Structure 1
Amino acid sequence: MSMNGTDRAHRHSLTDLCAEGKRLYAAALQAGRITRREVASAPCLIDFALLHPDPDDPDWLRPVAPSIALAQRLHPLEREIQERRQRTVDLTESFDEFMAISAQAPPSIHAITVLEGSHRINAALDVATAALKKEVLTVQPGGGRPEHLLSQAITRSKPLIDRGVSMRTLYQHTVRYSQNTFAYIDHLAGAKMEIRTLEQLIERLIICDDVVAFIPARDDDSAALELRHPGLVAYLTKVFEHLWQRATPLVQPLPSGPDSEGVTEVQRSIAKLLVEGLVDEAIARRLGMNVRTCRAHIAKLAAALGSGSRAQLGFLIARSGILGDGHEG
């Protein structure tokens, strides 16, 4: 077939038949035939075998009945569908013996699944949340979330809310200064949702109906563990409940004012971590704040205790007694 300008203009599929082709095919069906000269502008009609030469006059073309043209194209598709169905049956039968073995395997073989990549992690979370019936527990360390992450959380939470699933979430105290977090809460107003905060939290944790739990497998969140062993899930649920009892409901204010020595509760937590030997970056990460804010608190703590150096600050913290038994560790 020559590649002239008219041909190139008609390089399309039959399902996308051009307007000129549709018009001329309809005209041929109505009249019973059409001249070759008339269809020169729509060579696709001949390419798709919708027209065939008139045996009585080579200058004319006759239309192929639509029912015949359709059947000619549906037949190979139906044959392909039948072949794919048979392949499905064959594949199912080939796995039957393995499915039987899997059904008899001890539960521990499926207790821990490594999920690599955000796509696989999100897919597993979608499966778990789709099966939720009662409650989801989550631990979200760090500060306030970016708006796009909270939008994703709203999208995932909406179906749960509609089904009456309750949600309990633990954040760190720093989210109390995040406008995005409160906008997220307002958006889910009326839902069976409770939020509490703590100074420090364990790593991220999601527990669905005491059946499956998800924890990070790498620091960069590129992998996660899906845990389905009843003992593991029960243990993590107890860890969550322990943290929940110590946490402060988001609707309640924190005792953040300075004590008699001018030291705030946040600075007291920083002081404890300083004594433990953590560097500024590690302290900021543990408390869910940025490094600049952390260093500003350290400077205020040093001023309150009259410290002239970092080394002296550790000594003064230990001597001051600000890390008493009542401190939240």
Structure 2
Amino acid sequence: MTDPTPPAGHRSHDPHEIENLCAAGTQTYARALRAGRITRQDAAPAPCLLDFGLLRPDPGDPGRLLPAAPAVVLPQLMRAIEDDIARHRRREATLAELFEPFMELGTPDAAAADGPDGSGTTVLHGLRTINHAIGEAMAHAVGELLTVQPGGARPSGALAAARPREQAMLGRGARMRTLYQHTARHSAPVVAHYEQLRGDVEVRTLSEVTERLVVIDRAVAFIPAAKDRTVALRVHHPALVGYFVTTFERLWRLATPMWPTPARRTTPHGVPARQYEIAELLVEGHTDAEIALRLAMNVRTVRVHIAKLASTLGSDSRAQLGYLIGRSGLLEPGVGSSPRP
């Protein structure tokens, strides 16, 4: 039976969270880990260790405490944080769904367009709300739809959901231009999507693009306000929308045509375009994971291309590969990976 009496000093110990572990707790836990156990008397200055489960009674010796292994405790604490985040996400989705029917009620058009704070922006919460707002704006579009779609391929479901409203807009005589990353050129669902659209549609690709952007009739823009894209900004401010349009146009001029007439991407020295792009990031010191994220590829594919590039240049190591890329002249100024339209 363990002693229920708290160690001496427990009442005078200031309460705190585990991430703010006190100095006494840090020192005592370290001593317990080094020795494999610690006496209750030695642990008395840090009763928080018992509260947090970092120390537990020794079944074989009531006067001693055993330290919990950090490799066991840390994952447990991280799981608890992840559970809290998941609960907050569920609550956010529930609140967004609850308030969605009220968003259009009792709000004058002018106030809605300018945002509640006069900034020309409105915050949209939840994917349903965001997609509904984009759909409403597209339903009245007669000019042009500009979109930037990072990440390579898009899910077939998302493409299918977008097709009717895109076709309806094109049917009214509007124009549609879209920027993807180069990996989208090899996505069958993306190519099939544009094959099914009828109207003035153009698609181009780049190695890297901005975050997702939707500009409709050069009057309203939608940009993500959260990494998971569950929060977005609807922007009506003319200066901001104009800035987004200018950014799109500059990227568009640098991009390689994909649809309706694709252009072949070439590089000097017989190095494939994708390997050229990876070489640029390699010499900048990026890891395989960082390169994969920036080029919308998986890490395994990046490593395959690096291995082929190393074989082409005769490299035996990653450090040597960087040196050989520089010496080869592959990345000399003025040498590009894509033809300019």
Q: TM-score higher than 0.5 here?
A: yes
Alignment partners' CA distance in 2, 1:269 and 1:249: 17
Where in structure 1 are there 5+ consecutive unaligned residues?
1-94
1:204-243 alignment runs, 5 A limit: 204-243=212-251
Structure 2 counterpart of 1:252, one-letter code: P
Choose which of 116, 130, 134 in structure 2 pairs with 1:125.
134
Alignment partners' CA distance in 2, 1:135 and 1:107: 27
Alignment partners' CA distance in 2, 1:101 and 1:299: 57
Residue 272 of structure 1 deviates from its aligned partner by 0.9
Choose which of 268, 271, 274 in structure 2 pairs with 1:266.
274
Choose which of 160, 164, 179 in structure 2 pairs with 1:155.
164
Over aligned residue pairs, what C-alpha RMSD do you find? 2.5
- Compared CA separation, residues 155 and 191, structure 1 to 2 (3 A): same
Residue 282 of structure 1 deviates from its aligned partner by 2.0
Whether 1:299 aligns to 2:304 is: no
Cα deviation code 1:1-39 (max 9, x no counterpart): xxxxxxxxxxxxxxxxxxxxxxxxxxxxxxxxxxxxxxx
- Compared CA separation, residues 322 and 164, structure 1 to 2 (3 A): same
Structure 1 counterpart of 2:319, one-letter code: A
- Compared CA separation, residues 100 and 292, structure 1 to 2 (3 A): closer
Cα deviation code 1:198-242 (max 9, x no counterpart): 222111111011111111112211211111110010011011001
Whether 1:254 aligns to 2:250 is: no
Cα deviation code 1:52-72 (max 9, x no counterpart): xxxxxxxxxxxxxxxxxxxxx
Alignment partners' CA distance in 2, 1:201 and 1:136: 17
Q: What SS does the corresponding residue of 1:123 show, helix, strand or coil? A: helix
Residue 316 of structure 1 deviates from its aligned partner by 2.2
Residue 294 of structure 1 deviates from its aligned partner by 1.4
Whether 1:313 aligns to 2:321 is: yes
Alignment partners' CA distance in 2, 1:211 and 1:225: 14
The corresponding residue for 1:173 is 182
Please tell me whether Structure 1 or Structure 2 has the larger radius of gyration of its CA atoms: 1
TM-score of the pair, normalised by structure 2: 0.62
User: Do the aligned partners of 1:172 and 1:201 also contact (CA within 8 Å) in 2?
Assistant: yes
Alignment partners' CA distance in 2, 1:315 and 1:157: 48
Alignment partners' CA distance in 1, 2:135 and 2:265: 38
Whether 1:287 aligns to 2:286 is: no
Q: Percent identity?
A: 48
Structure 2 counterpart of 1:271, one-letter code: A
User: Do the aligned partners of 1:108 and 1:229 also contact (CA within 8 Å) in 2?
Assistant: no
TM-score of the pair, normalised by structure 1: 0.64
User: Do the aligned partners of 1:141 and 1:201 also contact (CA within 8 Å) in 2?
Assistant: yes
User: Do the aligned partners of 2:150 and 2:212 also contact (CA within 8 Å) in 1?
Assistant: yes
Residue 106 of structure 1 deviates from its aligned partner by 9.8
Q: How many equivalent pairs are there?
A: 229
The corresponding residue for 1:323 is 331
Q: What SS does the corresponding residue of 1:196 show, helix, strand or coil? A: strand
Alignment partners' CA distance in 2, 1:273 and 1:299: 15
